Structure 1
Amino acid sequence: MQAVFDKPPLWQRAAPSLQGFDGPLAFAIFLLVCAGLLTMYSSGFDHGTRFMDHSRNMLIAGFVMFVIAQVPPQRLMSFAVPLYIIGVSLLIAVAMFGIAKKGARRWINVGIVIQPSEMLKIATPLMLAWWFQKREGHLRPLDFIVAGGLLLLPVGLIMKQPDLGTALLVMAAGLSVIFFAGLPWRLIVPPAVVGVLGIALLIGFESRLCADGVDWKVLHEYQRQRVCTLLDPAKDPLGKGFHILQGMIAIGSGGLVGKGFMQGTQTHLEFIPERTTDFIFAAFSEEFGLVGNLCLIAAFIFLIFRGLAIALEASTLFSRLLAGAVTMIFFTYAFVNMGMVSGILPVVGVPLPFISYGGTAMVTLGMGLGILMSIAKAKRLVQT
């Protein structure tokens, strides 16, 4: 009789919560977390408590992921409109009376100092996925126009701060939702052609467009300088081109297998700027070489493909769109960071997921992973 009232073992009571963890996705995260800890230990060894703080941020992100993984996608959908409204309202408040630092107005004090634009990385695709879910089965061109407006509002406010890196990430997440919802190719091809022609003209007339005193109107002066520095970093090797050139030198000096853990000279002699944040990929490349880079890229590709597989297997349109958008956030983070450090994209201040130091970005990544875990869990429950 007593056995009937005995509590089951702890592992049995925890089993329902652990079902939210998708095995292949968790494996990809584990590989990237290990790479991040190794690189941070090396590149941040003389940066005070950077390694311990990075480990703490990973634990916090893991806790956020675990909590969100327990929330069903239907409940996540109910948060879409409130989160979007709160996020946009905070962006407007930042524009009106936010805190300015180093020429940018990106923060606001609400008891604690926060950067509202980070919230929009998740809130915007969440809102767009909700919008298309409500119109499933009878989408019209007007619905895509409204979705474009919902996307451009936060992107415009973030660009105004200015914060090109975050605006790019929000734009990529939002456009992926609109694309996966069925945006016609006739609306995709013309802007793509215009973009390619614009890049070609920029390269062809670089000497004139990047001359001193030329105003591009649509970009801030520091953004114009970043684009011009990308086209010819050697023009100012000790000034604006220093970041890109040192990153490229570090990547190239790593060779095939790298200089070895804790042996990177560019890193430890402090030639690499921001070696624990935006340019940590250069520090990783120097110590682990081409082989290490290929392994790291393979881990990111595995993560992205697993995220897309979860999106394809999702049981509702909302879940498919949201999982696809979150996956594209990871792709954009990794592609832009590696591209800017390698000298093929402008420097825009985008961290490398799980590798770069930064608490807010790490929590945002944890939220995204939690969403993927939640959608994967919902699919398994439907199957059983």
Structure 2
Amino acid sequence: MPRGAHPDRPLLNPRGDGSRALRLGGPSFRGSWLRQDLGLLIGAAGTSVVGALLVWSATHESAGTAYLVRHLLNTAIGIVLAIGVTRLGHHGLRLVAPWIYGVSILGLLAVLTPLGLTVNGSRSWIPVAAGFTVQPSEFAKVGLALVLGLVFADRWERRVAPGTRDVAVGWLLAAIPAGLIMLQPDLGSAVVLGALAFVVIAVAGAPRRWVLGMAVAAVGLVVAALTTPLLSDYQRDRLLAFANPSADPQGIGYQTRQVRLAIGSGGWWGQGFMEGRQTQAGFIPYQLNDFIFSVAGEELGFVGAAGLLLLLSFIVVRIFVVAGRSRDAFGRFVGGGVGTWLAFQVFQNVGMNLGVVPVTGLPLPFVSYGGSSMFASWLAIGIVNAAYAAGHRDRV
């Protein structure tokens, strides 16, 4: 019988001594690490740690280390989720994409039932246990990115350009969760889904007239939200107060003024970690969520806030680089959708802290306190890392 390698009986290592190559320090072990986008993973982990410190500073006077511990726990769970998604791989992600999308739709429906919890005029959360809540709109972003990537990758791989029917299906898939989110109402998350769908459909090669038509429709939706009873009075005040904080001096106008004062007082180098006057006095409501960037601006100054933006920018740019280099359409489309989602949220959150865009309540990815946002952000990292791993295996 031949002693060489056989397709049904692979040679374990060239020496033929029966030891496995997959051991600590062996070539297969090193190769498994090379198939991870370590820069993306380290960037996301570092940003999450910075977020934990900012959350701690904003809450230690009133809650000690409680929020710090929760934020770090959320980060650890998020990393585990990202690893699990990466291990699932592209083939597994394509299989589960419809299920993730479907579960997210069920979650959005459940929010509108008595199971949902209303906070600040928006019915967006489902209480779980021990004070923890789930926000289905965050996971809807993951589900939509995956299902759109699946739909258009199938056409692309068969070398068939997306037609009217395909584009209509794509926008329908986006309109269902966006419509349910608007019923909460949550204009910010709905616009994120619209931007995500717009980029994926455009990159997939949809006819230009459809792309431009849907862009006009999206603008019309935003205008309707501001001029009709589609949003609650509280939500509309949040959107309009950025232009004129004095219009609501006791509500969102007060909050936006305090945020601007905190960031403006930081100067170049900041007032010092845990030394910010506005932050430590608790003058900014919900600072650990929507306005966490103001902690960086006040206590770390322009230099520290710019450093945080560089970290977030690195994550977004790296995601687009991985998507652009992906050798399969699924990785390219999903990566483009994920990058758009995170980029839009960073722009919106930082913009509303600086007072240049309306307040929509979107969290700052990896930085703001909140389990659902953290889990969804790390799931996004896992999805992109799976695309990177798939491309590396193809090259190897």
Give the TM-score taking structure 1 as reference length: 0.87
Q: CA RMSD in A?
A: 3.0
- Equivalent of 1:383, from 366, 371, 395? 395
Once the two structures are TM-superposed, the CA of residue 188 in structure 1 deviates from its matched residue by 4.0
Cα-to-partner distance string for 1:17-47 (whole Å, 9 max, x where unaligned): 5344213313422442342233233222222
Q: Does residue 1:83 correspond to 2:100, yes or no?
A: yes
Aligned to 1:21: 36
Aligned to 2:182: 159
Once the two structures are TM-superposed, the CA of residue 295 in structure 1 deviates from its matched residue by 1.6
Aligned to 1:135: 155
Once the two structures are TM-superposed, the CA of residue 311 in structure 1 deviates from its matched residue by 0.3
Cα-to-partner distance string for 1:301-354 (whole Å, 9 max, x where unaligned): 221111111001111111100011111121122111111111122222211122
- Equivalent of 1:123, from 132, 143, 159? 143
Aligned to 1:36: 51
Give the TM-score taking structure 2 as reference length: 0.84
- Equivalent of 2:256, from 244, 250, 255? 244
Once the two structures are TM-superposed, the CA of residue 108 in structure 1 deviates from its matched residue by 4.9
Q: Equivalences for 1:1-384 in 2 at 5 Å?
A: 4=18, 9-12=23-26, 15=30, 17-46=32-61, 47-48=63-64, 49-102=66-119, 103-108=121-126, 114-136=134-156, 137-138=159-160, 139-189=162-212, 216-384=228-396
Alpha-carbon distance change, 7 to 321 in structure 1, aligned in 2, over 3 angstroms: closer
Distance in 1 between the 2:185 and 2:218 partners?
22
Cα-to-partner distance string for 1:224-253 (whole Å, 9 max, x where unaligned): 222221221122333230111111111111
Larger displacement relative to structure 2 (258-267 or 372-381): 258-267
Alpha-carbon distance change, 262 to 109 in structure 1, aligned in 2, over 3 angstroms: closer
Distance in 1 between the 2:340 and 2:185 partners?
23
Alignment partner of 1:79: what SS?
Answer: helix
Cα-to-partner distance string for 1:189-223 (whole Å, 9 max, x where unaligned): 46656877999x99xxxxxx99xxxx723333222
Distance in 2 between the 1:194 and 1:83 partners?
27
Contact 1:173–1:329 (Cα < 8 Å) also in 2: yes
Alignment partner of 2:78: what SS?
Answer: helix
Distance in 2 between the 1:219 and 1:273 partners?
21
Distance in 1 between the 2:198 and 2:20 partners?
53
Contact 2:85–2:382 (Cα < 8 Å) also in 1: yes
Alpha-carbon distance change, 238 to 287 in structure 1, aligned in 2, over 3 angstroms: same
Contact 1:98–1:106 (Cα < 8 Å) also in 2: no
Distance in 2 between the 1:239 and 1:107 partners?
22
| 1:66 maps to amino acid | I
5+ unaligned residues in a row in structure 1: which ranges?
203-208
| 2:52 maps to amino acid | L
Once the two structures are TM-superposed, the CA of residue 62 in structure 1 deviates from its matched residue by 1.1
Larger displacement relative to structure 2 (170-179 or 90-99): 90-99
Contact 2:194–2:218 (Cα < 8 Å) also in 1: no
Once the two structures are TM-superposed, the CA of residue 293 in structure 1 deviates from its matched residue by 2.0
Contact 1:20–1:70 (Cα < 8 Å) also in 2: no
Cα-to-partner distance string for 1:48-99 (whole Å, 9 max, x where unaligned): 3111111111111111111211122121011111222232234334434433
Once the two structures are TM-superposed, the CA of residue 262 in structure 1 deviates from its matched residue by 1.8
Alpha-carbon distance change, 191 to 25 in structure 1, aligned in 2, over 3 angstroms: same
Alpha-carbon distance change, 251 to 140 in structure 1, aligned in 2, over 3 angstroms: same
| 2:44 maps to amino acid | I
Alignment partner of 2:252: what SS?
Answer: coil
